[in-house]
Amino acid sequence: MADLEAVLVDVSYLMAMEKSKATPAARASKKILLPEPSIRSVMQKYLEDRGEVTFEKIFSQKLGYLLFRDFCLNHLEEARPLVEFYEEIKKYEKLETEEERVARSREIFDSYIMKELLACSHPFSKSATEHVQGHLGKKQVPPDLFQPYIEEICQNLRGDNVELNIHLTMNDFSVHRIIGRGGFGEVYGCRKADTGKMYAMKCLDKKRIKMKQGETLALNERIMLSLVSTGDCPFIVCMSYAFHTPDKLSFILDLMNGGDLHYHLSQHGVFSEADMRFYAAEIILGLEHMHNRFVVYRDLKPANILLDEHGHVRISDLGLACDFSKKKPHASVGTHGYMAPEVLQKGSRCLCGVSEK
């Protein structure tokens, strides 16, 4: 009976994979009849080739902005204050007299900037705040006074940042078979209900995390995944969504169907020099993407290099990665057999240069 159940689970997973390739969306709106998938894909490709499907293009057009605004106000609680702040700035920019701008600029500063600063939740840069404070202190209120904030609001509202903060639940996914296991839980193949896209769902058991005192590791992995998932790097297993239930923490990651390098080494013995050049080049590009975001990866080994169905590799498992923007890493971490000799030396510290090798 157990064998039969395993076969049924495998069949269900394979059918979901095929369905995700054939139908990009699992359910369509009852109010809007969309074109056939083939027509949509042709139009999307046509517009993408001409640079029309970008955040900047859509956000700068009236209809595109109104649709985006409606989505944020009704479905994305975190983005609502940003949209409201943006609209207040746009109203300020349309004021014709300096007297009007003086009064309105102070209201905007008190409502959207000072209030957040006092609550220690200001999401914008120090330079933007100093720019506005400096001008207000001199009673200078040009129409573009809040331009630094406009730029940072747009950056925060970009698709990759918005997607990472969408509130989801297990009901938004069809969960299939287990495709991997870890110290705190399992990894499942899953399919997002509204788009039909396949992902890997990494579920961390909260009880297991607490039992092994792994709260810091789990939180660190969530933070590191958020940092490296901006920019859409094709050489890192990135996170698209994250949510939690009373029992589990769930990370929705890129699905990799080609196994890992450790498995392929055990099956084939050795790789050719050409293959290794190819893999090494893609790994280096993935590491470069991390370093550009001040993330150092500290567990590089064949088992953490996954392959997709086309043979390209991605770096996975950022549980031991760390942010070195404020301080250099010093702990001796990693997997024995793959750690740098300098790290293994008793009493030596893991300097940034060693971690990047």
Cβ atoms of 123 and 116 within 8 Å: the answer is yes
Q: Is 194 a catalytic residue?
A: no
Residue with tokens 């490296």: 228
Statement: the pTM of the whole predicted model exceeds 0.85: no
Q: pLDDT digits over 182-233, tens only?
A: 888 999 999 988 778 899 999 999 999 989 888 888 888 988 998 888 777 8
| Closest to 282 (Cα-Cα) out of 260, 316, 314 | 314
Cβ atoms of 162 and 227 within 8 Å: the answer is no
Q: Report percent pLDDT > 70 for the chain.
A: 80
User: Has 202 been labeled as part of a binding site?
Assistant: yes
Q: pLDDT digits over 26-84, tens only?
A: 444 444 454 555 565 667 677 777 777 778 888 888 888 898 889 888 877 778 888 99
Q: What pLDDT does 57 receive? A: 84
Q: Is the pLDDT of residue 25 over 60?
A: no
Q: What pLDDT does 37 receive? A: 54
Q: pLDDT digits over 89-123, tens only?
A: 999 999 989 999 999 999 998 888 887 766 655 67
For each of the domains in the chain, give its residue range(s) and CATH number, in order of start: 44-157 (1.10.167.10), 168-253 (3.30.200.20), 259-344 (1.10.510.10)
Q: How confident is the model at residue 164 (pLDDT cuts 50, 70, 90)?
A: low
Other Cβ atoms within 10 Å of 4 Cβ, number? 8
Tokens at 90, concatenated: 């746009």
**Whole-number Å distance between alpha carbons of 117 and 134:** 16
Q: pLDDT digits over 229-267, tens only?
A: 877 789 999 998 888 888 999 999 999 989 899 999 999
Q: What pLDDT does 356 receive? A: 45
| Closest to 176 (Cα-Cα) out of 351, 352, 33, 11 | 11
Average pLDDT value over all residues in the chain: 81
Q: What pLDDT does 169 receive? A: 86
| Closest to 293 (Cα-Cα) out of 321, 256, 319 | 321
Q: How confident is the model at residue 354 (pLDDT cuts 50, 70, 90)?
A: very low
Q: Which phi and psi angles does 215 have, rounded to 5°?
A: -60, -40
Greatest Cα pair distance in the chain: 80
Q: What pLDDT does 281 receive? A: 96
Q: Is the pLDDT of residue 296 over 80?
A: yes
Q: What pLDDT does 30 receive? A: 42
**Whole-number Å distance between alpha carbons of 110 and 125:** 17
**Whole-number Å distance between alpha carbons of 142 and 303:** 56
Which residue in 275, 299, 317, 323 is the catalytic one? 299
Q: pLDDT digits over 321-347, tens only?
A: 988 877 777 777 778 888 877 777 755
